[in-house]
């Protein structure tokens, strides 16, 4: 009967979780033979609440039915909501979990279903839906230790290779040349050595101080005085035959082209080579021609409908000539003699400039030698205008005679190409 | 007053600054565009020219290559090229250099870059370095090289183009 009473009393316990309920019931059963033990069990747990007391009297017994709500409240303190990080495992005890405040967890850290605290006192089950997925916006990286940049000059630490492709090509407008050290005007010899006595082993790298150079004999002037008879002798050569041209044995003075102009003899020869026409005529080369071979583009012929006088043509050829002299100055970068300059200027006048005859320009600049220069020079004898090839051959030959022999007199008169009616 | 003067000074300087930088960019681009190999696919004659037909055929089969350090032209290899680049009216360029229209040369652009190449060569005989000069024109796609009065129109050697014989 007592057992029944106790079971009756303890029936609400069934409302609790089965695990702990079973533990409590077992403990009650163990002590159920003694009503005082049961009473103590109930009263020792201050959280238990007496819900109902029922007293019945029958058969000489008073049956006391006490309905007690067993609770864990006294044993298991309800912790206030705390961030998970602050819950120490020692604080977590078995009990009813009312709430757990879970801070936003990074997705990768969260266990999918359970969080197990060690030692295992409680198992908190979380629904993964309840765990907020927090987007990580910013990660603050602590400042990294600075790299020490120490380059020791005595030790090769790195080799930097520059790729030429990475170097931008920049137009160089100005080059500033630092002032050069002054050259000592006086050269002295200590001791005076004859060139033949110098040995290579005596010459050391460094500053050469004194060498006395004896005055050179004035050979140049003597040779220049001998020029006129040589030129007279050349006049006996058969005119125009290139194979028989002899190279003179003296060297004429060469000058920088920047200050040179076509000589008067050059003008005379050019006028002969071009011929003169007081009227417009056609060479079927895309335009018209007048005066000393002045090219008039199609459509501009009406300006010259009245023709051109000899004086006008002389004036005009001198106006045009600086353009072709400038071509020589632009392309030639070596000093020239007057006859070389004249020949090149006359060639430029005929070709219309040197941009299309760089082979000749480069022959001159590289001192290519007579044979190669003559070969390249004589190539310019083809023309799309019919019937002028022979004329071009003569012209090239006359220019070469000027260059090689200073011969400005190719035994021809100025051809009058047209006669005014 | 000072503020207006400084503003005026800036306004005067800015256009020149822009022009200069544009020129530098143009020059760099032009040189970069040139730096490859080219091959002639057509040619045209100037009023007076100096090449024979067999020479023209030989040149047409030959590549012209520009690198940073050298230029391989029809007449040999040149070194340390330096480029002087001038933007000129295409019609004037054709007329001034070849007495013909730009259309005859096959130029379709309004302007071309006239590029004067200064380079050096070593004479095998005397080891003396000579300065050399060549002139080419570039219209953005093709280059025009004049060799002894014959104008060769060249395309990128790797590009597939139908060769065309002139005249």
Q: Closest by alpha carbon to A396, among B99, B116, B148, B53?
A: B148
Work out the minimum CA distance from A109 to partner chain B, whole angstroms.
Answer: 54
Please report the pLDDT score of residue A355 as a whole number.
82
**CA–CA gap between residue A140 and residue A136 (Å, rounded):** 11
The pLDDT of residue B39 is above 60: yes
Confidence at residue A132, expressed as pLDDT on a 0 to 100 scale: 58
At A359 the three-state DSSP class reads helix
Answer whether residue A74 shows pLDDT above 50: no
A170 near B CB under 8 A: yes
Over residues A67-92, the mean pLDDT reads 51
Place of tokens 């839906």: A129
Give the model's pLDDT for residue A389. Answer: 74
Do the Cβ atoms of A317 and A292 come closer than 8 Å?
yes
Q: Which residues of A touch B36 (CB under 8 A)?
A: none
**pLDDT tens for each residue of B96-155:** 777 778 888 888 999 999 999 999 887 666 677 888 888 899 998 999 998 888 889 999
Reported as a single tens digit per residue, the pLDDT across A241-268 is 444 444 444 557 889 999 999 999 999 8
C-alpha closest to that of A364 among A330, A393, A397, A391: A330
Structure tokens at B44: 């045209």
Surface of B (12-51) touching A: CB under 8 A: 23-24, 27-28, 31-32, 45-51
Question: What whole-number distance in Å separates Cα of residue A343 and Cα of residue A400?
Answer: 7
Structure tokens at A156: 């090769």
| A353 and B CB contact within 8 Å | yes
pLDDT at position B114 is: 92
At B134, give phi and psi (nearest 5°): -140, 155
What is the Cα–Cα distance from A276 to A296, expressed in whole angstroms?
14
Of residues A15 and A62, more confidently modeled = A62
What pLDDT, on the 0 to 100 scale, is given for residue A175?
A: 56
- Could you check whether the bond before residue A223 is cis, i.e. omega within 30 degrees of 0? no
* pLDDT at res. A419: 58
Q: A230 or A84: whose pLDDT is higher? A: A84
Task: Flag whether residue A128 sits within 8 Å of chain B, measured between CB atoms.
Answer: no
Higher-confidence position of B119 and A17: B119
Q: Is A285 on the interface with B (CB under 8 A)?
A: yes
Chain B: residue nearest A297 by CA? B99
The distance from CA A201 to its chain's CA centroid, rounded to whole angstroms, is: 49
**Which residues on A lie below 8 Å from B46 (Cβ)?**
351-352, 356
Say how far apart CA A244 and CA A407 lie, in whole Å: 14
- pLDDT at position B62 is 92
How confident is the model at residue A345, as a pLDDT? 95
SS3 A31: helix
Q: Is A284 left (phi over 0), alpha (psi -120 to 50) or beta?
A: left
- pLDDT confidence bin for A230, thresholds 50/70/90: very low
Mean pLDDT of B18-40: 73
Strand A287-291 to A277-282 pairing: antiparallel
The CB-side HSE value for B116 (13 A sphere, CA atoms) comes to 16
Tell me, what's the pLDDT at A347? 93
Residue A240 phi/psi, 5° resolution? 80, 0
Look at residue A332 and tell me whether its pLDDT is greater than 50.
yes
| pLDDT-derived band at A121, boundaries 50, 70, 90 | very low
Q: How many CA atoms lie within 13 A of A337 on its CB side?
A: 11
Q: How close is the nearest chain A Cα to the Cα of B2, in Å? A: 33
B68 at the A interface (CB within 8 A)? yes
pLDDT on residue B131:
87
In terms of Cα–Cα distance, which of A390, A352, A395, A353 is closest to A377?
A395
The string of pLDDT tens digits covering residues A218-228 is 544 444 444 44
**Residues of chain A with C-beta less than 8 angstroms from the C-beta of B28:** 168-170
Partners of B99 on chain A (C-beta within 8 Å) are: 285-287, 295, 352
Is the model more confident about A180 or about B84? Answer: B84
B98 interfacial to chain A (CB closer than 8 Å):
yes
A406: alpha, beta or left? (left if phi > 0; alpha if psi -120 to 50): left
Q: How many Å apart are CA A300 and CA A13, to the nearest integer?
A: 124
Give the pLDDT score at B82.
92
Phi, psi (deg, nearest 5) at residue B123: -75, 125
Please tell me the predicted confidence (pLDDT) of residue B96: 79
Whole-number pLDDT of residue B20: 35
The pLDDT assigned to B167 comes to 39
Strand partners, B154: B40, B143
* Average pLDDT score over residue span A94-118: 46
**How far is Cα A399 from Cα A223, in angstroms, rounded to an integer?**
25
The whole-model pTM stands at: 0.51
Chain A residues with beta carbon closer than 8 angstroms to that of B146: 355-356, 358
pLDDT, greater one: A267 or A303: A267
Residue A390 to chain B, least CA–CA distance (Å) = 12
Dihedral over alpha carbons B4, B10, B12, B17 (to 10 degrees): 180
Q: Look at B158 and B127; give whichever has higher pLDDT.
A: B158
Contact yes or no for B151/B45 (Cβ under 8 A): yes
Using a CB-CB cut-off of 8 Å, the residues of chain A touching B59 are none
Tell me: pLDDT of B88 over 90. yes
Q: Give whole-number Cα distances, A374 to A46, A112, A187, A343, in Å.
A: 130, 95, 43, 12
Q: d(Cα B150, Cα B47) in Å, to the nearest integer?
A: 9
CB atoms within 10 A of CB A144: 6
Query: Of A171-185, A263-277, A324-338, A358-372, which range is least confident?
Result: A171-185
| Nearest residue in A to B23, CA atom | A171
CA distance linking residue A174 with residue A102, whole number of Å: 72
Chain B residues touching residue A353 (CB < 8 angstroms): 96-97
- Cβ–Cβ gap A358/B151 under 8 Å: no
More confident residue, B71 or A62: B71
Rounded to 5 degrees, what angle do the CA atoms A70, A75, A79 make? 115
Per-residue model confidence (pLDDT) at position A348:
92
Q: How many CB atoms lie within 10 A of CB B107?
A: 21
| The token pair that represents B83 in the structure block | 């480029």
Mind listing the pLDDT tens digit for each residue in A135-178? 555 555 555 555 554 444 444 444 555 566 665 565 555 556 66
Q: Which residues of B touch A168 (CB under 8 A)?
A: 28
For helices A338-351 and A264-274, angle between their N-to-C axes, nearest 10 degrees: 30
* A358 vs A179: CA distance, rounded Å: 35
Name the residue in chain A with its Cα closest to that of B135.
Answer: A355
Q: In Å, how far is A394's CA from the nearest CA of chain B?
A: 14
* DSSP H helices in A332-388: 338-351, 358-365, 370-377
Q: What is the pLDDT of residues B44-53, one digit of tens each?
A: 888 888 888 8
* Cβ neighbours of B151 in A, within 8 Å: 356
Alpha-carbon distance A135 to nearest alpha carbon in chain B (angstroms): 46
Backbone angles phi, psi at A105, to 5 degrees: -110, 145
Q: What is the pLDDT of residue A37?
A: 61
The answer to whether A341 faces chain B, any CB pair under 8 Å, is no
Judge: A366–B146 Cβ closer than 8 Å, yes or no: no
**What is the three-state SS of A280-302?**
EEECCCCEEEEECCEEEECCCHH
From the list A238, B47, A354, A414, the residue with the least C-alpha distance to A341 is A354
Number of neighbouring beta carbons within 10 Å of residue A117 = 16
pLDDT averaged over every residue in chain A: 66
Alpha-carbon distance values, A59 to A63, A191, A271, A284 (Å): 10, 158, 165, 155
Report the candidate in A408, A388, A389 with the shortest Cα–Cα distance to residue A398: A408
Interatomic CA distance for residues B144 and B40, integer angstroms: 9
* Chain-chain contact of B132 with A365 (C-beta, under 8 angstroms): yes
Tell me the Cα Rg of chain B. Answer: 19
Residues of chain A neighbouring B95 (CB-CB closer than 8 A): 297
Q: How far off is chain A from B5, nearest CA to CA, in Å? A: 29
Residues of B in contact with A399 (CB under 8 A): none
CA dihedral sign of residues B102, B106, B109, B111: negative
pLDDT at A412 over 60: yes
Contact (CB, 8 A) for A122 and A20: no
Model confidence at A17, in pLDDT bands (50, 70, 90)?
A: very low
Question: Is the CB of residue A171 less than 8 Å away from at least one CB of chain B?
Answer: yes
Tell me whether B136 touches chain A (CB under 8 Å): no
Which of these ranges, A184-193, A285-294, A296-305, has the smallest mean pLDDT?
Answer: A184-193
Higher-confidence residue of B12 and A379: namely A379
Q: What is the pLDDT of residue A76?
A: 41
Q: CB of A165 within 8 A of CB of B25?
A: no
CA distance B86 to chain A (A): 12
User: Which of B50, B93, B103 to probe the A interface (max A CBs under 10 A)?
Assistant: B50
Mark yes or no for CB contact B96/A353 under 8 Å: yes
Nearest CA-CA partner of B39 in B162, B157, B165, B161: B157
Q: Which residues pair with B136 in a beta bridge?
A: B115, B145
Q: Distance (Å, rounded) from C-alpha B138 to C-alpha B135?
A: 10
């Amino acid at each position: 009967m007592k057992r029944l009473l106790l079971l009756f009393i303890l029936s609400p316990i069934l409302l609790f979780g089965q695990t702990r309920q079973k533990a409590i019931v077992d403990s009650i059963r163990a002590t159920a033979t003694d009503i005082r033990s049961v009473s103590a069990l109930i009263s020792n747990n201050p959280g238990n609440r007496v819900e109902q007391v029922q007293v019945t009297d029958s058969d000489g017994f008073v049956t006391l039915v006490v309905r007690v709500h067993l609770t864990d409240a006294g044993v298991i303190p309800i912790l206030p909501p705390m961030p998970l990080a602050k819950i120490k495992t020692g604080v977590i005890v078995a009990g009813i979990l009312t709430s757990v405040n879970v801070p936003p967890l990074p997705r990768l850290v969260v266990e999918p279903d359970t969080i197990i605290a060690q030692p295992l006192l409680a198992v908190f089950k979380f629904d993964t839906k309840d765990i907020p997925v927090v987007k990580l916006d910013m990660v603050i990286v602590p400042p990294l230790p600075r790299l020490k940049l120490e380059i020791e000059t005595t030790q090769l630490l790195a080799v930097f290779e520059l790729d030429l492709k990475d170097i931008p090509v920049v137009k160089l407008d100005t080059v500033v040349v630092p002032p050069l050290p002054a050259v000592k005007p006086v050269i002295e010899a200590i001791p005076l050595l004859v060139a033949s006595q110098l040995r290579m082993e005596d010459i050391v790298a460094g500053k050469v101080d004194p060498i006395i150079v004896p005055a050179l004999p004035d050979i140049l002037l003597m040779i220049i005085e001998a020029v006129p008879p040589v030129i007279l002798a050349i006049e006996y050569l058969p005119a125009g035959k290139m194979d028989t041209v002899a190279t003179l044995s003296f060297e004429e003075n060469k000058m920088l082209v920047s200050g040179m102009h076509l000589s008067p003899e050059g003008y005379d020869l050019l006028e002969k080579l071009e011929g003169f026409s007081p009227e417009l005529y056609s060479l079927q080369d895309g335009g018209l021609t007048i005066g000393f071979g002045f090219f008039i583009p199609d459509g501009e012929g009406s300006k010259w409908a009245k023709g051109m006088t000899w004086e006008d043509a002389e004036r005009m050829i001198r106006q045009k000539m600086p353009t072709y002299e400038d071509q020589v100055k632009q392309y030639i970068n070596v000093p020239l003699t007057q006859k070389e300059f004249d020949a090149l200027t006359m060639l430029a006048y005929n070709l219309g400039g040197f941009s299309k005859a760089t082979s000749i320009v480069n022959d001159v600049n590289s001192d290519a030698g007579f044979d190669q220069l003559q070969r390249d020079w004589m190539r310019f004898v083809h023309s799309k205008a019919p019937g002028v090839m022979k004329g071009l051959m003569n012209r090239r030959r006359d220019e070469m005679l000027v260059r090689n022999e200073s011969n400005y007199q190719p035994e021809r008169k100025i051809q009058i190409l047209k006669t005014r009616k | 007053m000072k503020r207006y003067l400084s503003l005026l000074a800036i306004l005067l300087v800015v256009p020149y600054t822009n022009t200069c930088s544009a020129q530098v960019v143009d020059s760099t681009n032009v040189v970069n565009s040139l730096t490859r190999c080219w091959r002639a696919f057509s040619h045209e004659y100037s009023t007076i020219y100096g090449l024979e037909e067999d020479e023209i055929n030989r040149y047409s089969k030959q590549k012209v290559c520009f690198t940073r350090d050298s230029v391989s032209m029809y007449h040999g290899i040149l070194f340390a090229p330096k480029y002087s680049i001038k933007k000129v009216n295409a019609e004037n360029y054709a007329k001034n250099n070849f007495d013909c229209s730009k259309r005859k040369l096959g130029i379709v652009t309004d302007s071309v870059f006239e590029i004067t190449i200064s380079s050096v060569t070593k004479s095998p005989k005397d080891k003396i370095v000579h300065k050399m000069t060549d002139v080419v024109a570039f219209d953005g796609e093709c280059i025009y090289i004049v060799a002894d009065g014959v104008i060769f129109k060249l395309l990128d050697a790797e590009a597939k183009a139908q060769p065309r014989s002139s005249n």
